[in-house]
Amino acid sequence: MCRSIASNLKYNKPTDIQKLCITKILHRRDVICISKTGSGKSLVYLCTLIDILKEHNKYYGIRGLIILPTKELVIQIYKLCKKICKNYFHLNINIIIGGVSIIKQFDILNQNLDILLCTPGRLSFLLQETKLSLEKVEILIIDEADRLLELNYYNDMNVIYKSLNNTSKQTILVSATLPTNVENYFKLKLNNPDVLFLTSDNTINEKVHLHFLFCRSYEKYALLLRLILIFKKKKLGKTMIFFCTKYHILFFSNILKHFKIHHSILYGNSDTSFRFEQINNFTKNEHIQFLLVTDVASRGINITSVQNVINYNLPFSPKLFIHRIGRACRTDISGYGISLLTYQDILYAYEICFFIGKKLKFFKKEKSVLDNDMEDISSKGFTSKGMDIEANTVVNEMSNVTNMNNDNDNKCGDNECGDNKCGDNECGDK
């Protein structure tokens, strides 16, 4: 396994959470692994699972089952799993996700798989509609466990657990946070698990320069465009821009198209192939610097090239704020985490800063590549007189580009934002 990791992934030493968990898992203990986003949790369970199974089993039956909350994450972990196995391990691995032909997935299940990666909704459906057996599963892995329950997969998980052999399986539960409801639910399913924490869940990567930028609500789009122009001019690297709804994304995407700024978009309730295409374009096309996303991409999706994060809308919880910012600076390069605030956001911004243990600070004079531009924005307050030609044009274009309700700048509820608590259609499981 060490040779495979060094050769295929170019990693020479384990992270702290990997040092903490791998030995316990190899000793076949049930483990709950809690660590912040970007700490290497995926390799914790993949390396141990592959090392335990080693070679393809000629006897029929799935031996390793990995359950993940979204199809994008399933695809990502599947690719990583295949990469680890390359030239060293011969295992039959495949995936089951929503948005794909059921007939094709019946064929997949007849392949005598060693490892199956899946979303819970689609697996639950197949278990109820077919004679698929999970009794041979030796290792069950649940990634992003808190996210699974946020998406209300209780019933699907119960169906899956009924199909498992509870006496012989080992369970590995991985998550960035461990809310009480998640802990209470899964501890009943595990056999005296070791709960391994690395650090608290309220820390921000030190390489991310965290800032809040104040503006009036009607200036937010113009200010965001100005930031994008600065990031583009300074070549500050790949940037994810978070919105609370897909309607904000579609609206602002039209603005960027008007200014001929290349970008990708990612949100729930879109076609599976379209979402994969957008992620692929963002990661591999050097001309695409910006990815407009909702929170469907803020957990689990590992895009290591992301250097900066901009929050157009603040998320609904401080923990989700940390997960968003956790997308940035997964390599050794530093970057920016910028949030746009209006009057309505000030108290909530204080709550976030209290949670992460930092003082609320706005852009101020300090040495950085953004100094002159940010000082210019702050000093002018980004009023209509302070806007440059491009920003003024945006304001004029807004009424022509698309039709959006006046209240879209408010915090979205569950019905408006399908990515916070998405339904079956958005996750593509049914």
Domains of the chain with CATH codes: 3-197 (3.40.50.300), 208-362 (3.40.50.300)
In the chain, the amino acid numbered 342 is T
Residue 213 backbone phi and psi in degrees, to 5 = -120, 120
As a whole number, mean pLDDT of residues 207-218 equals 88
d(CA 106, CA 93): 15
What pLDDT, on a 0 to 100 scale, did the predictor assign at position 402?
38
The share of the chain scoring above pLDDT 90, in percent, equals 35
pLDDT value of residue 200 = 59
Average pLDDT, stretch 24-32? 93
What is the average pLDDT across 240-268? 92
Residue 59's CB: how many other CB atoms inside 10 A?
A: 7
Lowest mean pLDDT among 162-171, 204-213, 381-390: 381-390
Has residue 272 got a pLDDT over 60? yes
DSSP annotation of 295 reads G
| Integer Cα distance of 227 and 388 in angstroms | 12
User: Most confidently modeled of 169-173, 409-413, 415-419?
Assistant: 169-173
| Whole-number pLDDT of residue 332 | 72
Task: Dump the DSSP string for 41-58.
Answer: HHHHHHHHHHHHH-B--S
Lowest mean pLDDT across 105-119, 193-207, 312-326, 386-400? 386-400
Q: Quick one: how many helices (H) and strands (E) in the chain?
A: 17, 13
Q: For the residues 266-285, what does the mean pLDDT come to?
A: 84
DSSP state of 327: T
Checking if the pLDDT of 351 tops 50, the result is yes
Tokens of 375: 């000082």
Q: Are strands 238-242 and 306-311 parallel, antiparallel or unpaired?
A: parallel
pLDDT bin (cut points 50, 70, 90) of residue 409 is very low
Where is 32: in which H helix or E strand? strand 31-34
**Pair of tokens at residue 330:** 């997964």
The answer, as to whether pTM is greater than 0.75, is no
> What pLDDT is recorded for position 168?
77
Lowest mean pLDDT among 105-109, 153-157, 356-360: 356-360
188: its two tokens? 């009943």
For the cut 90, the answer to whether the pLDDT of residue 426 exceeds it is no
Q: Which of 78-87, 276-285, 347-356, 413-422 has the lowest mean pLDDT?
A: 413-422
DSSP state of 69: S
| pLDDT above 80 (res 44) | yes
Predicted pLDDT of residue 381: 38
Structure-model confidence comparison of residues 89 and 205, the more confident one: 89
Q: What is the pLDDT of residue 364?
A: 46
Q: What is the 3-state secondary structure (H, E, C) of 95-108?
A: EECCCCCHHHHHHH
Residue 48 pLDDT greater than 80, yes or no? yes
Q: pLDDT tens digits, residue range 367-408?
A: 444 555 554 444 443 333 333 444 444 445 444 443 443 444
